A and B are shown apart, each in its own frame.
Chain A
Amino acid sequence: MAQHNLSTVIGFEFLRVVTKKRFWLTSLAVPLALAVVFALVFLSNAATSETAQAQADTQLVVTYTDDSGLITDAVAAAFGGSEAPDPAAAIAAVKDGTVDAYFAYPADPSTQPIRVYGVDKGIFENGAYAAVATQMLVLAAQQEIDAPELAAVVQGDVTVTSETYRDGVVSGGLDGVIPPLLFLVVFYVSIILLGNQMLNSTLEEKENRVTEMILTTMNPTTLIVGKVLSLFMVGLVQMLTFAVPVVVGYLFFRSNLNLPDVDLSHLSFEPGAIVVGTLLLLGGFILFTGTLVAIGAMVPTAKEAGTFFAPLMIMIFVPFYVVSLIVSDPRSLIVQVFTYFPYTAPVTAMLRNSFGSLSALESGIVIVELFALGFVALRLAVYLFRYGSIAYSKRLSLRDTLRRSRA
């Protein structure tokens, strides 16, 4: 019976969202907005390459090997580069930090990638290596063929693969940061899109006086679990709605849109970070869902619920104010507080997980905390709905509810 009711609730709740026109209008608005953003990014690309130029100008101590024979000593010297005797020694020098970077130029740079090895200086600085390596080649090519137009073509076709070292060990670099960061993106998107629906999920029963019918027909746990699961499904549908136009656009219009040719095989998927990221995402989702549903069950109207909504949303954004500290100094007090405070924990921990500064112990503690508090919040939501929502127009006193639920 309970099983039957659960699937009935999920079916009803899911269908009544996805059969509404409004749902599809808002869902499709997001990919549309993304398209506009992409267009703007494309238009402002010129400005960005100037920034890369500026990065290239920062003086680095680099070594290189050149199979192409294009790089002249003069050009290399202009960039603070000197030819390395052999690749192995050059990489070793990067690992122990005596030089900033080592560039290995292939025999044919227009078809083979330039391999870049650098000391990990944080993801923003690391970009400079590739810029310098490319710049060196471009300048050399310009001198060689004395034809700037051709050199520009060379520049467009050059690819660079980078590897950075921290304490002598390969660090993921940007390619390693991106996959765990995707969990953060999913977290943000799902909370922002579904937050209001979570908050309002039991408000509808209260505002429309359906609670008494529900409470005498089924277990409130069934209702709330059913609602949460259907929200989850709605979220998945919505993500697919976003993803499909993006993927289609990328696959079929990449050349027209001049989108960068992202080679996904470069992304490094570190299993540990992926598992931790998944668990942080799930735990964070459960905690925020439980909390939002509980708030909805506690207050009489959507308007009052709104006053609680804003602070929660602020808490998922506030870690970004200290993002530079999270990246550079994860030991600092504020980062520690944000890592363990439940409502800033998901974002902070996911960021640190991406940058590889979340230890196994820390991730364990945060994950357990998120799941435990998430389930407590969901249980509380059931209690609040069960004993509180009949006081339709009254905000429920938490203490009163708990006292009564124990009776």
Chain B
Amino acid sequence: MSASATVAEPLVHIRNFRMDFGTQTAVRDLSFDVFAGETFGFLGSNGSGKTTTLRALLGIYQPTAGTLHIAGKVFEPRDGARLGYLPEERGLYKKESVLDVMVYFGRLKGLGRAGATQWSRSYLERVDLADKADVRLDKLSGGQQQKIQLGVTIMNSPELLILDEPTQGFDPVNRRLLMDIIEEQKRAGATVIMVTHQMDEVERLCDRVILLKDGTAEAYGTVEEVQDLYGGTVVRVRCAGLLPASDLFDVARSDGDLADLAPRAGVDEAQILAELVRHGVQVRSFTTARTSLEEIFLRVYGTPSEPVGV
């Protein structure tokens, strides 16, 4: 029994990770932690090094430098029974039947044949593919194959769920279904690391996020912290008439009669409203909101950045 207060050990611990491919540096110097039970958004533009980081974490790549630990040690395939990994490059044995493939992976992850079969059948039922159990995988549509792959990923009730762009290829209905499934896993106690380009998904699901840029962390913290870092609140107004130029705010976005105004430092919302009224703008609605992640994303990556490494 230890009486001293201990800081929770992170489930995933990455320090000074660097990854070179030949002369090209994909990840420069990356450090972050993911704690048990949280849902972590792993964000960044195309080619910023997200997939590379996940692969190095799972031992698929040998990191050039740095520490990448899961539960305090380097990942080994035998720990795979507690992991659910949905790779960016999806793929299963295409010439075998859906059920055979699911049961095979279930057994490799430590389930018994009967257990794996039973789980697979009820999952297929749930995702509306019960009639496809004995069909070859390559006879399924892309989205249907994605569902099978997601099933394989979660069938061992993983403690750590790593999803690289999980919604890629899903229609809106199935995207909703997938988000529900992820939320279920989360409620069941799984820690989730999720790469996605859908900022609304992040806002809905994630506790904390990291933004990768040029192979290193651009921002890292809770969703609110990151929002505050990039201008915090915005004022969203619906109005008629021209918006005046003012040194109280910048126009972050303007679209028809809707505009997002970013207050300058030390300015509060009431001052902005007064300023608008003073200039004769007819304000129909006036709300304050945090800067959307999408806005932040555009701001961080909107300007073309120097190519990484070289």
Residues of A within 8 A of B (CB): 1-2, 4-5, 8-9, 12, 16, 204, 208-210, 212-213, 215-220, 387, 390, 392, 404-405, 407
Contacts and interface: CB of A to CB of B under 8 A. Distances in A.
27 contacts: A1-B81, A5-B108, A8-B107, A9-B108, A16-B96, A16-B100, A204-B93, A208-B91, A208-B93, A208-B94, A209-B87, A209-B91, A212-B55, A212-B60, A212-B89, A213-B92, A215-B59, A215-B60, A216-B59, A217-B105, A218-B77, A218-B78, A218-B108, A219-B77, A387-B62, A404-B62, A407-B62
Interface of B: 55, 58-62, 75, 77-78, 80-81, 83, 85, 87, 89-96, 100, 104-105, 107-110, 152
A217 B89 contact: no
A212 B108 CA distance: 14
A220 B78 CA distance: 11
Interface on chain B toward A: helix, strand, loop, or mixed SS?
Answer: loop
A208 B94 CA distance: 7
A16 B100 CA distance: 9
Contact of B110 (A1, A204, A216, A405): A1
For the complex of A and B, 3 pairs with smallest distance between CB atoms: A209-B91, A212-B87, A217-B80
Nearest to A405: B62
Contacts of A213: 85, 87, 91-92, 105, 152
Contacts of B109: 217
A388 B171 CA distance: 34
A7 to B, nearest CB: 9
A4 B85 CA distance: 21
B80 A216 contact: yes
Contacts of A12: 100, 104
A390 B85 contact: no
Contacts of B108: 5, 8-9, 217-218
Contacts of B83: 216
A404 B20 CA distance: 12
Contacts of A1: 78, 81, 110
A376 B87 CA distance: 31
Contacts of B62: 387, 404-405, 407
A407 B90 CA distance: 28
Contacts of A9: 108
Interface on chain A toward B: helix, strand, loop, or mixed SS?
Answer: helix
A9 B107 CA distance: 9
A260 to B, nearest CB: 44
Contacts of B104: 8, 12
A8 B103 CA distance: 10
A216 B108 CA distance: 10
A218 B77 CA distance: 5
Contact of B77 (A8, A209, A216, A407): A216
Nearest to B110: A1
Nearest to B78: A1
Contacts of A5: 108
A182 B62 CA distance: 47
Contact of A390 (B55, B80, B81): B55
B80 A392 contact: no
Given A208-B94, A209-B89, 19 more contacts: A1-B78, A5-B108, A8-B107, A9-B108, A12-B100, A16-B95, A208-B92, A209-B90, A212-B55, A212-B85, A213-B85, A215-B60, A216-B58, A217-B77, A217-B108, A217-B109, A387-B62, A390-B55, A390-B60
Contacts of B100: 12, 16
A219 B78 contact: yes
B91 A215 contact: no
A175 to B, nearest CB: 47
A319 B231 CA distance: 78
Given A8-B104, A12-B104, A16-B100, A216 B91 contact: no
B60 A216 contact: yes
A257 B149 CA distance: 56
Nearest to A387: B62
Nearest to B63: A407
Given A8-B108, A217-B105, A218-B77, A210 B93 contact: yes
Contacts of B75: 216
A212 B94 CA distance: 15
A353 to B, nearest CB: 40
Contacts of A2: 78
Contacts of B91: 208-210, 213
Contacts of A212: 55, 58, 60, 85, 87, 89
Nearest to B85: A216
Contacts of A220: 77
A375 B90 CA distance: 32
Nearest to B94: A208
Given A204-B93, A209-B90, A210-B91, A218 B80 contact: yes
Contacts of B59: 215-216
Most buried by B among A9, A212, A215: A212
B162 to A, nearest CB: 9
A218 B105 CA distance: 10
A21 to B, nearest CB: 12
Contacts of A219: 77-78
Contact of A215 (B77, B81, B90, B96): B77
B119 to A, nearest CB: 16
Nearest to A222: B77
Nearest to B22: A400
Nearest to B80: A217
Contacts of A404: 62
A407 B58 CA distance: 16
Nearest to A206: B91
A26 to B, nearest CB: 16
A200 B58 CA distance: 26
A5 B109 CA distance: 9
A17 to B, nearest CB: 10
A384 B263 CA distance: 56
A217 B107 CA distance: 10
Most buried by B among A9, A12, A217, A390: A217
A208 B85 CA distance: 16
A134 B55 CA distance: 77
Contacts of B152: 213
Nearest to A9: B108
Contacts of A390: 55, 60-61
